[in-house]
Amino acid sequence: MTDFLKTSDHSLATLSGLIDKALEIKSGAVSGKPLDGKSVALVFFNPSLRTRASMQIGVYDLGGNPVILEPGSTSWSLEHREGVVMDGDKTEHLKEFVRVLERYVSAIGVRTFAELKDWNVEQADPILNAFAEYASVPVINLESAMHHPCQAMADMMTIRERFGTEKKKVLLTWAWHPKPLPMAVPNSFALASAQFGHDLRIAHPEGYDLDDELIKEIQQYAGGSVEFTNDVDAAFDGVDVVYAKSWGGRSFYGNGAADVAHRAQFRNDWIVDEKKMAATNEGIFMHCLPVRRNVIVTDGVIDSANSVVIDEAENRLHVQKAIMAEVIK
C-alpha cells in the first residue's frame, strides 16, 4: 500500500485486515511506535475537529511528529492547476509545496473539500490527485471532494463492533440541511458498504443522485443488493443501520441558491426521527459529525441508546493508526 485515497483502491481483505488491526489497537492488545523518528504533514484546507485531533494524536501515539499546515492561513495559499499564470491570489504552487514538504516528512495527509462550483471539475478530485501525483511519499486522504475513506473505515469498524462480520441491511439516507454540502461522506460510506458486502439502500429526493461513475463502482463491488428510493418513509423499513448525511445536488454545483430553493420542499420529511427509526430492525443511527440537531436528526434519536455517532468518532483514531502503520514505512 502506497497511498490511502479511497477504499476501492484496496481489496476487501486489506480493508478487513486494517479493521482487525484497529480493533486490536482499540483493545490495547497492540502498541509500539512504528512512526518513531518520522514526521507526518497534515494539510487542512478546511475546518475539522475529529480528523485533525485524531490524526494529530494518532501520529503522536505512534511515535511520530505531526506537522499541521493550513494553506491560505498558516501557510501560503496554493494553486494546484497545471500551466496557469499565477497572477491572482495564490502564492505558491502545489508542486513546490509537496516537493519541499516531502524533504521533511514521511507522509502527507490532506483535507480538501469540494467547493460545489463545477461538478465536472470537482468530480475528478483535482487537488487530492495533484498531491498524489506530485508526492513520492504516501498521501492519506483526510476528506477530498469525492471521498472520505478514513471516515468510511471508522464507520465499517463501528458496524463490525455492533454486529460482527454479519452482512446487514444498511440505509444511507439524504437529510435536509440549510445549505448544500459535499458528497465525500455518502460516496465513501456507500462504496465501503458495498465492498464489505452489506445490503445497501440509498434514499434521497429527486435531484440528489450520487455520481453515476460511483454508482457503477458500487454495483460492481456489491456482495449484497443495492437499491435506490425517493420514498423516505418506506426507506427505513427493516434496516439494521441508518446512516444520515446531507449532500448537494450535482446539477446545482455553481448555483447554491437554486439548490437551497429546490431542497426547501424536503425540510419536514427528510429528517431522521423516532417514527422513522421505529420502522427499522432496532437499527443503529450513524452520522460522521458534525451534525445539526433537529435538522438532520432529532435529539431523541441522536441521544438514544441506538446512536453510535460517538463510537464512529472514536474509531477514527484507531483505524487511522492502523492505516498509518500500514502506509508509512
Give the residues lining the site for ligand CP (CB under 6 A): 48-51, 143, 151, 288-290
User: What DSSP assignment string belongs to 130-154?
Assistant: HHHHH-SS-EEESS-SS--HHHHHH
For residue 283, the Cα-to-chain-centroid distance in whole angstroms is 21
Q: How far is the CB of 150 from ligand CP (least distance, A)?
A: 8
Helices (runs of H) and strands (runs of E) counted in the chain:
13, 11
Residue number, 157 or 232, with CB nearest to ligand CP: 157
Residue number, 106 or 151, with CB nearest to ligand CP: 151
Residue number, 238 or 290, with CB nearest to ligand CP: 290
Residue number, 48 or 304, with CB nearest to ligand CP: 48
Q: How far is the CB of 189 from ligand CP (least distance, A)?
A: 11
Q: How far is the CB of 316 from ligand CP (least distance, A)?
A: 7
Q: How far is the CB of 248 from ligand CP (least distance, A)?
A: 16
DSSP letter, residue 9: G
d(CA 59, CA 125): 25
How many CA within 13 A on the CB side of residue 35?
28
Q: How far is the CB of 184 from ligand CP (least distance, A)?
A: 9
Backbone angles phi, psi at 172, to 5 degrees: -100, 115
d(CA 108, CA 95): 14
143 close to 109: Cβ distance less than 8 angstroms: no
Residue number, 56 or 229, with CB nearest to ligand CP: 56
Residue type, 273: D
